[in-house]
Structure 1
């Protein structure tokens, strides 16, 4: 474990700005230390992980991103759940549910598709675009920096895993009123949530930015 040296120290006056790193949790600024493979640099104030390089992390991130892409596409098409109540049976996929809104509620169709399908897929495609040349020891792609910046900007709007958790909470509440059967897409979203968490923990954004600078 490595603790970065705070840039507020007197001996850090005139430090090279390219060596500074800001904590995304508390905005503390540090001089980026040299971190070896499988070591981590933490923020001294809020203990947020700042640097966590890992060997072959790029290949693993691409593999996970491709897996999530496949899961999102499949989960959008296959039945998500089916409900039996009062002798009636109804099942639907995410796409069927999104296009079920009409009239003034049609904006919800756009929101569902954007936040649950399109934006998460766009983020993953951008990440693969950025990392593919890096893992092959080639110069970064032409638009790699703005692509990675856009990928990070879209992170708060990528809500595929939030949708899965929200559905789980809603299904618990209606479980007493109807018989709920989870479809293949529900289990795909469950796996997707786990992979998204693993991907986020595996990604070292500082290392990616440094690779793009080189």
Structure 2
């Protein structure tokens, strides 16, 4: 990449090119065309991202293996977890769906949490970036749209509206773990300024 292009940033919404400005922590740089936030560095953001990612990993364990909900129909009850839901599609022609559910709801979010911890933890301590940190962060950005825990919660909420009229539904701890997981993920992403991350990785690389 030439020096002129290395100092440029494209708006993710309208593709307008800007020279990368110097932005103080707590301030924001916006696109001159569509007013999209381009940079928003925050003090202590790396430490917060590591803490929130670790929290997300813990919540994911509970969300997968704890009871998600319980259905009661005419005195008959059944508890189910996300792990049970994945295994429910593991027979015959439904096996690919089982892999898709496991990947999009469990595997990819866990991979992204672990990748962010690997990238940010050393830099939050003031050390050099870990080996391959740039590639790992690039991977985390690639899989970000495919980590669909929040989409899963929305789908469950829509389904519960229909099921509630047929059976008594009791929400389990895994449901609330997923809700907290969505909140933690949103907070984590709000602290992340990707342009600043790339600048830091380039400046601190060995």
Counterpart secondary structure, 2:78: strand
Confirm or deny that 1:55 pairs with 2:55: no
Say how many residue pairs are matched: 201
Counterpart secondary structure, 1:45: coil
Gaps of 5+ in 1: 1-13
Counterpart secondary structure, 2:196: helix
**Aligned residue runs from structure 1 range 47-196, under 5 A:** 47-101=35-89, 102-196=91-185
Q: Distance in 2 between matches of 1:42 and 1:15?
A: 22
How far 1:72 moved relative to its partner?
0.7
Matched residue, 1:21: 9
Q: CA RMSD in A?
A: 1.4
How far 1:15 moved relative to its partner?
7.5
Confirm or deny that 1:206 pairs with 2:199: no
Pick the aligned partner of 2:28 from 13, 35, 40.
Answer: 40
Q: Distance in 1 between matches of 2:71 and 2:188?
A: 33
How has the CA–CA distance of structure 1 residues 127 and 94 changed in structure 2, closer, same or farther, with 3 Å as cutoff?
Answer: same
Q: Distance in 2 between matches of 1:152 and 1:197?
A: 15
How far 1:172 moved relative to its partner?
1.4
Gaps of 5+ in 2: none
Counterpart secondary structure, 1:109: helix
Q: Distance in 2 between matches of 1:126 and 1:181?
A: 34
Counterpart secondary structure, 2:154: helix
Q: Distance in 2 between matches of 1:39 and 1:61?
A: 18
Q: Distance in 1 between matches of 2:196 and 2:9?
A: 11
